[in-house]
Amino acid sequence: MQKIGTQNEWVDRAKAVLPAGGFGNFDPNVVLSHGKGSRVWDQDGTEYVDYLIGSGPMLLGHGHPEVLEAVFEQLPSGMTFFANNPQGIELAEAIVAAVPCLEQLRFVTSGGEADMYAIRLARAFTGRDKILKFEGGYHGMSAEAQMSLAPQQQVNFPQPVPDSGGIPADVAEHVLVAPYNDLAAVEALLAEQSQQIAAILVEPLQRIIPPEPGYLQGLRAMCDQYGVLLIFDEIVTGFRLAYGGAQEHYGVTPDICTLGKVIGGGCPLAAIGASTEIMQCFDREKAGAESWLMQLGTLSGNPIAAVAGLKTLEILRRPGTYDTLRSTGERLMQMQSEKLAAAGIAHQMVGDATLFDVYFTNRNCRDYRSAKHDNSAHNVIYNQSLRQNGVFKSPGKLYPSLALSDEDMEITERAFRTAASVLADRIV
Ligand SMILES: Cc1ncc(COP(=O)(O)O)c(C=O)c1O
């Protein structure tokens, strides 16, 4: 049910009860009222073509009728059980069948929680403490994940920089940081410290920066050589880059992966999974009381999220779905680039057709530091104009959805043209 009240009234109410006026996720001056298909509306009734799509989960668009039907059917039979339920078991079966590295999985409620368990699982399995992650790589909010997520100061690798208050100093002792897309840096760390390193944790597509040819294959080969586990954080890329995720798309199979966003069909659900051998760490009988990794959560395997996820996956399996998503994304990238080029603005499209954005620079952006060549002032002006012209997106990403219509593409193309000319005028 839509709530009464203007956007400004809700912004003020939020300021009173939410620190920094919001949920911490997005511009707190926007209060969304509802979404349908490819569109969202704010509390003042302004309509947008939605390229935020809930930060990724709503790949099918908002309120897909088949997903709604599955959820409505489940609601009266129970909203949460804590206990095993067929819906959750079926979803686990569907995910395991889809994702190459998985034989078993455990459900959790958020991607960050899944990443926390992935780190702990790698430590429990190998008996080692250190995790190698990449500068600028995002893995949720655990203490380890907050190391060198978006550091303001440039320190020497592999020293981590905590990006949050409240993190004990000794967490840094267990985290090594390397630049993304640099195999030599990883090789040097493994050669020196592999006996203490449990895993390499990587976003296969880091934020929107693609892996260079051979990079993920190189990480895989080094992990095999040095006996270190490879974790793919597929919270964003899972069921997006391909039905089997980035591991299917790039043809590299990790040891452990995490999934979230799409698998819950818009409800809170994420997962962590691996081979049966590795996942035995979660089984007290098989792992033994000493090395057992305890894992539980009140909403894990929630049946509403499970039926929403199951129906979403069923729809994604239909022939041609990923071709449509990719061709839509390619068209969006191309039309955006054309408008910026016509306005004489230095730029490049970065990412994958299923998830991308524009960087305002011609220089090569292959890791966190080089991505700083992106002109952030240009970015702000451009994104502001897109929003004013009916395109809703996050400041750093554009997610195409499967709900986009020809009319949406026309609105978007006009917004790209206007934003490019607004930016060109402001640069002069
Ligand atoms: C790559 C990656 N890992 C982890 C997370 C955290 O997921 P959640 O927000 O569900 O905790 C995100 C969220 O955007 C993500 O993009």
What per-residue confidence (pLDDT) applies to 159? 97
Which residues make Cβ contacts (< 8 Å) with residue 218, sequence separation at least 6? Answer: 183, 186
pLDDT score of 428 more than 90: no
Distance (Å) from CA 286 to ligand 1 centroid: 30
DSSP state of 386: H
- Among 42, 50, 115, 233, which one carries the catalytic annotation? 233
pLDDT score of 12 more than 80: yes
Cβ 204 under 6 angstroms from ligand 1: no
Local confidence band at 290 (pLDDT 50, 70, 90 cut-offs): confident
Give the position of tokens 């760490």: 281
Q: What is the mean pLDDT of the chain?
A: 97
Burial class (CB in 10 A: 0-12, 13-18, 19+), 83: exposed
Q: 3-class DSSP state for residue 165?
A: coil
d(C-alpha 312, C-alpha 70), whole Å: 10
Cβ 112 under 6 angstroms from ligand 1: yes
Whether 42 is a known active-site residue: answer: no
Q: Round the CA-based radius of gyration of the chain to a whole number and report it.
A: 22
Distance (Å) from CA 236 to ligand 1 centroid: 7
Cβ 245 under 6 angstroms from ligand 1: no
- Among 261, 311, 339, 393, which one carries the catalytic annotation? 261
* Residues 314-336, mean pLDDT to the nearest whole number: 98
Q: Which domains does the chain have, with CATH numbers?
A: 7-63+320-427 (3.90.1150.10), 66-316 (3.40.640.10)
Q: What is the pLDDT of residues 146-200, one digit of tens each?
A: 999 999 989 999 999 999 999 999 999 999 999 999 999 999 999 999 999 999 9
Whether 130 is a known active-site residue: answer: no
* Residues 121-131, mean pLDDT to the nearest whole number: 97
Local confidence band at 318 (pLDDT 50, 70, 90 cut-offs): very high
Please give the structure tokens belonging to residue 241: 């880059």
What per-residue confidence (pLDDT) applies to 1? 75
Pocket probe for ligand 1: among 119, 133, 138, the residue whose CB has the most ligand atoms within 8 Å is 138
Please give the structure tokens belonging to residue 323: 């071709």
What per-residue confidence (pLDDT) applies to 104? 98
Cβ 399 under 6 angstroms from ligand 1: no
* Residues 105-133, mean pLDDT to the nearest whole number: 98
What per-residue confidence (pLDDT) applies to 176? 98
Beta bridge partners of 177: 133
* Residues 228-252, mean pLDDT to the nearest whole number: 98
* Residues 7-22, mean pLDDT to the nearest whole number: 98
What per-residue confidence (pLDDT) applies to 100? 98
What per-residue confidence (pLDDT) applies to 199? 98
pLDDT score of 230 more than 90: yes
Cβ 235 under 6 angstroms from ligand 1: yes
Pocket probe for ligand 1: among 107, 146, 201, 236, the residue whose CB has the most ligand atoms within 8 Å is 236
Local confidence band at 291 (pLDDT 50, 70, 90 cut-offs): confident
Local confidence band at 2 (pLDDT 50, 70, 90 cut-offs): confident
Whether 399 is a known active-site residue: answer: no
Please give the structure tokens belonging to residue 395: 């400041």
Local confidence band at 418 (pLDDT 50, 70, 90 cut-offs): very high
* Residues 367-380, mean pLDDT to the nearest whole number: 95
d(C-alpha 207, C-alpha 204), whole Å: 9
